[in-house]
A and B are shown apart, each in its own frame.
Chain A
């Protein structure tokens, strides 16, 4: 791997790692969403430092170039992230549904009791 490419990959993975930690520290990102980001940036960092590991992985996945393996890895990461968000959105939609229903029923009950106490 050319040294320029190596430095660039290291800087990007470090920036992503530090930025993610900072977001969690400031409570702008929940821990559960930071795991994938941290794991990916850490893996990227290790594979750039341990270049022979990256080459071995490249042989395992059948890619031509180590950079293709990194690119492929980043696509997998994005897919996992999208799936994680889809699962979370589904759960939130279910919770929202329950909240809207409970709110509607309680509001009706409240109005009924209010009318009863006014009469």
Chain B
């Protein structure tokens, strides 16, 4: 029987993390749940452990990309076949985990990204965020040759091949968003989008917050350009 793990990167999410874990468990009671605590200053690790999750803690805050890569390394080392990634702030509705998993488990695709723009009613991001998403949607879609409506979504599911690929230095730890999709495409992985529901962040604070939008745009564009310039041998699976 295949093993699946739900990974939740978390930074100072002590208030909501237990509820997120509980919600995930209600939907997929048989899946293991891993919380990677990115050096939180609050009781995130304690709350997550009390809620029954496996907890791996960074000694200090390393950022979102490093945190999810720690989760991939854990999952790969422990022999999991599939991985679902969901944010620790409760923005992603766990009810869609089975939908997200279905094509990956069936072997129809390697990587599934949950999109908030494909029909299922979700919260409406701010104007500046929508503008940024639209920009990267156009850019990523034209580069990989198919429409990706939500290239900044962190709600994902993938198989062991992608897991192994992401444990290497190829993984863009700075901002693993649009350039990650391009990297996957260059490596020949099959990508698919599935509609999911996302809620507005009640606490108003996530690991994504605080990014200076302009710096983020510049950094992401630079990252995409260098990804395309790199030797394709680097992306061999």
Interface positions, chain A 67-119, Cβ under 8 Å from B, are 94, 97, 100-101, 103-105, 107-108
CA distance in complex: A98, B153 (Å): 25
**Stretch binding the partner chain, chosen from B49-57, B100-108, B129-137, B140-148:** B49-57
Contact across chains for B77 and A101 when beta carbons are under 8 A apart: no
B7-15, B59-67, B86-94, B187-195 - the one binding chain A: B59-67
Q: Which residues of B contact A101 (CB under 8 A)?
A: 58, 66, 69-70, 73
The docked-state distance in angstroms from the alpha carbon of A97 to that of B172 is 12
Determine chain B's interface SS by DSSP, over half rule: mixed
Interface size grouping (class) on chain B: 10 to 19
**B74 contacts partner chain A, Cβ-Cβ < 8 Å:** yes
**Residues A100 and B55 in contact in the complex (CB < 8 Å), given A105-B73, A105-B74:** no
Q: How far is the CB of A5 from chain B (nearest CB, A)?
A: 44
**Contact across chains for B59 and A97 when beta carbons are under 8 A apart:** no
B50 to chain A, nearest CB (A): 15
Complex Cα–Cα for A97 and B169 (A): 11
| Interchain CB contact under 8 A, B55 and A108 | yes
Q: For the side of the interface on A, what is the size category? A: under 10
Q: Is A104 a contact partner of B173 (Cβ separation < 8 A)?
A: no
Name the CB-closest residue of A to B74. A105
Residues of chain B within 8 A of A108, CB atoms compared: 54-57, 74
Are A105 and B66 interface neighbours, CB within 8 A? no
Given contacts A107-B57, A108-B56, contact A97 B62 (CB under 8 A): yes
Tell me the bound Cα distance from A105 to B75 in angstroms: 11
In the complex, A2→B223 CA distance in Å? 51
CB under 8 Å from chain A, chain B span 22-77: 36, 54-60, 62, 66, 69-70, 73-74, 77
Chain A residue contacts of B77, Cβ below 8 A: 105
Which residues of A lie under 8 Å from residue B169 when comparing CB positions?
A: 94
Asked if residues A104 and B59 are in contact (CB atoms below 8 Å), the reply is yes
Q: Are B60 and A100 in contact (CB under 8 A)?
A: yes
Chosen A-B contacts, 23 in total, with CB atoms closer than 8 Å, are: A94-B169, A97-B66, A100-B58, A100-B59, A100-B60, A100-B62, A100-B66, A101-B66, A101-B69, A101-B70, A101-B73, A103-B59, A104-B36, A104-B56, A104-B57, A105-B56, A105-B70, A105-B74, A105-B77, A107-B56, A108-B55, A108-B57, A108-B74
Measuring CB to CB, which residues of chain B are less than 8 angstroms from any residue of chain A? 36, 54-60, 62, 66, 69-70, 73-74, 77, 169, 173
Interface residues of A (CB under 8 A from B): 94, 97, 100-101, 103-105, 107-108
Interface pairs A-B: 4 shortest CB-CB: A108-B56, A101-B70, A104-B56, A104-B58
